[in-house]
Amino acid sequence: MTILVRAAALQGYAELARACGVDPLRAMQRVRLSQFNLKDVDSLIPYVAFINLLEQTAQKSGCADFGLRLAQAQGIGVLGQLAVLFQHASNAGEALTLASRYIFVHSPAVQLEVRPVVNHSGLVDIVFSLAIPNLPRRVQILELSLGLIINGIRAVGQGAVQPRLVVFPHERQGPLRSYTQTMGCDCAFDGPCAAVRMDAAALTQPLPAHNPQLRAFAQQYLDHHFGDPAQHFGDRIRNMVRRFLSSGMGNQRDIASALSIHTRTLQRRLAAEGLCFEDMVDAIRKEQLEDLLKNTRHPPMMQMAMMLGYSDQPNLYRSCRRWYQCTPSALRKRLLDATDSMP
């Protein structure tokens, strides 16, 4: 199974890479990422490809602290609706609980855990880890991620919550000044894990931006789009297919793997609701094709085919003829004419 992350993780990458003397598009091509991922922040990209992109860019540019610099360029906004949820929690403890529950929306590989610090009852560590099997040692993604946790603490706490220490599980890569400027606190290296340390009492401190209505709205949005346990199974699968299609991973095997179930279990549960996986994918592609063609600045046909999960452009043409008995270009004209004729 390919582990994915939202393309929002690329925010600020192109500008920083250029500033460091690296052509961002060529660097992305080397790890098989597309320039279109820079624009569609809600598309999904292979996480390992992104991790390798950071490592290769750091090596090629000579910027050993590239991950830290990218963390400085990014804000909590890279998390999208997750940021709204965290910012409006009642306290830091609730924000971290919500982060642990919903961080899979950004990537199912990310794991956050709050641990008491041994022999220091007044301190806790926010421990970051990646559930990616056989991942070689990669320091840039760890430094970027710890920097983003710090950004989150700043955004959520607005000065009311302060980190005490950032622990890196590797040796220092760049100038110490780069670490302290990014993290805003002391840093320790060659530690047992990647973690941000803070006072345990800070977890119960009220957050200045707490808004129960906005928090509830954000949580309802995430539950609706990414998996409320009470949601019908078919609705969950539709939402997952919509997210996975553009990454070329909208097939049964990938969806079943993301849910940690067998493909036959997926088929059986859909059948219990009178649904067929292939028909669902077909209907979603048809719906998305219309939406794309109605846009006056729709992407080129080859990119459109990729966004709909097709391996090539002819497959898109065949589906369009099957649905509408015409080519995508003719369908676009038909849709625009229908829009113009509306009162």
Residues 149 and 10 in one domain: yes
Reference 319, options 288, 342, 297; nearest CA is: 288
Q: Tell which wins on pLDDT, 243 or 266.
A: 266
pLDDT band at 339 (very low <50, low <70, confident <90, very high): low
The CATH number of the domain holding residue 287 is 1.10.10.60
Query: What was the pLDDT predicted at 303?
Result: 86
Q: Which residues contact 126 (CB under 8 A, 6 or more apart)?
A: 96, 112, 113, 114, 149, 195, 196, 197, 198
Cα gap 295→316, rounded to integer Å = 17
For residue range 102-137, list pLDDT tens digits in order: 888 888 788 899 999 988 889 999 999 998 888 888
Query: What was the pLDDT predicted at 2?
Result: 66
Name the strand (E) or helix (H) holding 6: strand 4-6
Q: What is the DSSP letter of 300?
A: P
Q: 47 burial class (0-12, 13-18, 19+ CB within 10 angstroms)?
A: buried
Query: What was the pLDDT predicted at 230?
Result: 45
Residues 187 and 63 in one domain: yes
161 pLDDT exceeds 90?
Answer: no
Cα gap 236→39, rounded to integer Å = 26
Query: What was the pLDDT predicted at 323?
Result: 95
Residues 154 and 22 in one domain: yes
The CATH number of the domain holding residue 63 is 3.90.1520
Number of domains in the chain: 2
Residue 220 lies in a domain: no
> Which of 185, 204, 223 marks a domain boundary?
204
Reference 245, options 290, 302, 305; nearest CA is: 305
For residue range 267-291, list pLDDT tens digits in order: 888 887 778 999 999 999 999 999 8
| Cβ pair 163, 184 in contact under 8 A | yes
pLDDT band at 342 (very low <50, low <70, confident <90, very high): low
83 pLDDT exceeds 70?
Answer: yes
Q: What is the mean pLDDT of residues 131-155?
A: 90
For residue range 10-54, list pLDDT tens digits in order: 999 999 999 999 999 999 999 989 888 888 787 778 899 999 999
Residues 166 and 310 in one domain: no
User: pTM value?
Assistant: 0.69
